[in-house]
Structure 1
Amino acid sequence: MLEILLFGYLITCVSGQGGADVVLSCSLVEEGSGMGGMGGGALFSRTPATLVLRDLAVTPDLSPDTLTPFNPPAVPDPDNIILEAKVESPEIPEADLLLHADCNEQEVTCEISRYFPRNAKEGSTEPAYFIGSLQIEGGGLSLTLVLQTLPLDQSDRPALMQSKLELPLSQSGTLLTEVVFLVFSRSESHSAPLGGMALLDCGFRQQAPPPGRELGLEWRLQHRGSGRKVLEIRAGQTETEEGPAVHVEREGSSVDAALLVGQGNASLTLARLKVSDEGTYICTVSTGLYQAQQVIQLHVTQPPHVSLSEEKLVFRDELPQKLSCHCKNYYPLDVQMEWFSVSSTDSEPDSYWMVLGFLVITILFFYQVMK
């Protein structure tokens, strides 16, 4: 199996017709011939590669003067791996985050591999497909893209073939593709209180689907080596009398089917959160030939209830005094408790214990929420 693994930084923004292009440094990864380890061959070999996302929407605050044109090699080289991905319809949501990632010193990590659509004709090689995942360091946007190669004009001369991918290149030496389907999330991690509600963000975009194509959505939960289905929806992408088929496994979970079909909003709402709801949620969207997914981590938290055994202590030299602090009803369980002493005057003994209790509660609360 051939895979392309893209690691690196957003290295430049380039001008394009009606938008901007983003260039990523990449690595082409192929399976090695050995088994790896114990004197065996390497599991993977890596070759430098480049990914160019074309025609991203430009916001008014991005001056054209700051965009540097992308120039392919003057002489096409079949050993160079340059993937050009045309991004017009569907558009990438929150594209500004990609355009500003370099300025914000955020790393963009991306993986891409050969993709074989569902129900595709056996042995078919035209067009070829790739599927890629892209994440911005620190969160904000995660994408899974399905790329389809574009036909080339070979009227002038035979196309140059890329030596590793064995696919025809454009006259400038690039592999031309377009984004045909994408699934995205604006949050890779979410925290919500025990007993409260969580909204896990997921959505999709696609080229205009042909009539009769079914849309499928499945949410699954994986936690500590086990998994279960949370919710599933099957619906046509046009209005029908029957409406979507919704199957709910986890009581209190819901997806707005109208927003799913009409706007590509596949976000999951979870009500009355329990500890067992914590884990890794997988949003899988399928439509026609394509299927892609996003992964979101859900953390359930509960701030502690803290109380002191005595509201007021009177210190006497001859009698030892004991003060106990009780902490209960909190999650997660790996918490930390600390005692702090503060100075007080004889006229303000009550304020001393009020401050002490407040400090303990504050420390525990922020330890739970911010970890």
Structure 2
Amino acid sequence: MKTNGHLQVGLILTLNSVLLWCAAVPQYTVDIVLPCDYALLDSNVGGLGFTRQKVTLVLQNVTVMGEEPPEALPDYHPPENLDMTVFLATVDLAALSFAERLLHVECGDEGEAVECEISPIYSQLFIAHIRLPELSVAVMAKAALPIEAPDELANDKVVVPMSVELLVSSSPPSQKGSLSDEVTLNCDVWSGMEVSVDWHLQKDGTGHRLNLEDSRITIHKENKEASCLTIRQLSVHDEGTYICVVSSGKNRLQQILQLQIREPPQVTVAVSTIPKTTVTCRMERYYPLDVEVSWLLNGSPLTHVSPYTSSHRRNQDGTFSISSFLEVPVPQPGASPDTYTCTVSHVSLTDPIMIEGHVLPEKTDLSYTTTLLVAFCTIVILSILFLWKQSMKRQEKKTI
């Protein structure tokens, strides 16, 4: 690796808005060395498959934004006795916003696993894909000289001088959103040539160019080096694979971005007594389809009653609903109420949703006892009235 510290007046571009900041931005250049797989299509491997061989990809002269390390990093020089082919790709482009992450990966920082794959397109053109957590990079490079047998290149163990002509990155390459959210997919381009950017959606086995007549969808072309796709008021139908296609003349490079919809279920529990005592747990408007439900009785797993469930119902907005039912016994008179807990797990939830329903004990039949008590009280009251009237008559006779 090499460094060449210098200052340059630059522009900082944010993904959601353009922020111009005129300032001295520190930059330096390095060589980044990455272990890579050389992938070739091979019709003899399980039908249509790929053979892979270990190679080294060197991104030479990469401009990094930030302060130069206190110790100068050495230039990369291929070893005299090569144990694998080296693709030496010169990067004569503007500063790469993600270059420092690649540099840390090469230096062995923990927690950053990198995947790298390079494939030939024809005798001089190659495409490399570099993937890190939350970052995807595609590189188009041209070999300095035509290569007659690209399929034998990895076995030759040679140095292949190249120049990077086009580079596209996305961060993150996969996003999740809930219904009615807003999401922005980014496709950043580095190139010394004029390029055009188109967006496509791949879904259910078919693909199409995005319909820009949809008022929820906006494509921001901040400049020739960035394209942002914003979707407002997300719906289930927006889920799919979005492809950012960058074209320069006859050459094309693309980034694949995944958008997943995650909508948590709305859970309610109700207890009904007619015709039988039933506890119902309703899970409504969730996406995707799979949902798991289990029951607790007074805090312990339910064993003596088996629930039954309805079929999935597809709502108009593409979400799903389902219900789980329990026919339960009623506690004896004087006992404590039974608490049934519906526990719902779904991919959109960090922790399960737990909703309780209470089944009250039977009421004692007091009709006969009440009748006897009323009759007794009536007799007592009538007796008191009779005795009072008799007493009043005797008093009247004494007065006369």
TM-score (normalizing by structure 1): 0.64
Kept in 2: contact 1:111–1:133 (CA 8 A): yes
| Distance verdict in 2 for CA 1:191–1:21, change over 3 Å | same
C-alpha offsets along residues 131-170 of structure 1, whole Å, 9 cap, x if unaligned?
A: 211111xx2210111112348xxxxxxxxx98954999xx
Q: Aligned AA for 1:218? A: D
Corresponding residue for residue 276 of structure 1: 237
Deviations 1:92-134 (A, max 9, x none): 3311221223312433222222346xxxxxxxx7xx3222111
SS at match of 1:64: coil
SS at match of 1:276: helix
- Write 1 or 2 for the structure with the bigger share of strand: 2
2:288 aligned residue = 332
Q: Does 1:141 find its partner at 2:146?
A: no
- 1:64 and 2:71 are equivalent in the alignment: yes
Pick from 230, 250, 253 the counterpart of residue 217 of structure 2.
Answer: 253
Gaps of 5+ in 1: 1-13, 117-124, 152-160, 232-247, 314-319, 344-348
Select which of 100, 109, 125 maps to 1:96: 100
Secondary structure of residue in 1 paired with 2:282? strand
> 1: CA distance between counterparts of 2:50 and 2:281?
56
Q: Does 1:180 align with 2:136?
A: no
Does the CA-based 8 Å contact 1:229-1:249 persist in structure 2? no
Q: Deviations over 1:290-317 (max 9, x none)?
A: 3211111111122221112149x9xxxx
SS in 2 for 1:100: helix
Q: Which runs of 4+ in 1 moved over 6 A?
A: none
Alpha-carbon deviation of 1:255?
0.8
Cα distance 1:369–1:282, how it changes in 2: closer, same or farther (>3 A)? farther
* Whole-angstrom distance in 1 between the partners of 2:148 and 2:166: 27
Match of 1:130 in 2: 126
Cα pair 1:97 1:141 within 8 Å, conserved: no
1:217 corresponding residue in structure 2: 197
State how far apart, in whole Å, the 1-side matches of 2:253 and 2:2 are. 29
Q: Distance in 2 between matches of 1:61 and 1:369?
A: 43
Q: 1:50 aligned to 47, 53, 56, which one?
A: 56
CA gap of 1:370–1:193, structure 2 versus 1, over 3 A, is same
Relative to the length of structure 2, the TM-score reads: 0.60
Equivalence for 2:89: 85
SS of the equivalent of 2:279 reads: coil
Contact 1:27 1:48 in 2 (8 A): yes
Cα separation, partners in 2 of 1:87 and 1:333, compared to 1, 3 Å? same
| C-alpha RMSD of the superposition | 3.9
- Letter in structure 2 aligned against 1:74: E
Deviation at 1:217, TM superposition (A): 2.0
Q: Is residue 52 of structure 2 the alignment partner of residue 24 of structure 1?
A: no
2:119 pairs with 1:113? yes
Is the 1:80–1:162 Cα contact (8 Å) retained in structure 2?
A: no
CA deviations on 1:232-267 (whole Å, 9 max, x unpaired) are xxxxxxxxxxxxxxxx2544211123x043xx2211
User: Which residue matches 2:324?
Assistant: none
The whole-number CA distance in structure 1 between the counterparts of 2:142 and 2:243 is 24
Q: Offset at 1:48?
A: 3.5
Task: Using the aligned pairs only, state the percent identity.
Answer: 26
Bigger relative contact order, structure 1 or 2 (CA pairs below 8 A, ≥6 apart): 1
1:341-360 alignment runs, 5 A limit: 341=297, 360=343
SS state of the match for residue 256, structure 1? strand
Q: Match of 2:102, SS?
A: helix
Partner of 2:67, secondary structure, is: coil
Please list every run of 5 or more consecutive structure 2 residues that lacks an aligned counterpart in the other structure: 5-27, 300-335, 352-400
Answer yes or no: is 1:297 the counterpart of 2:258: yes
SS in structure 1 at match of 2:347: helix
SS at match of 1:329: strand
Is residue 323 from structure 1 mapped to residue 330 from structure 2 by the alignment? Answer: no
Aligned length: 285
Q: Quick one: which amino acid aligns to residue 217 of structure 1?
A: V
**Per the alignment, do residues 274 and 181 of structure 1 end up closer, same or farther by CA in structure 2, a change over 3 Å counting?**
same
Distance (Å, rounded) in 2 between the aligned partners of 1:179 and 1:61: 23
Corresponding position of 1:3 = none
- Where 1:91 maps in the other structure, the secondary structure is coil
Partner amino acid, structure 1, of 2:87: L
- Work out the CA distance in 2 between the residues paired with 1:249 and 1:230: 9
1: CA distance between counterparts of 2:84 and 2:277? Answer: 78
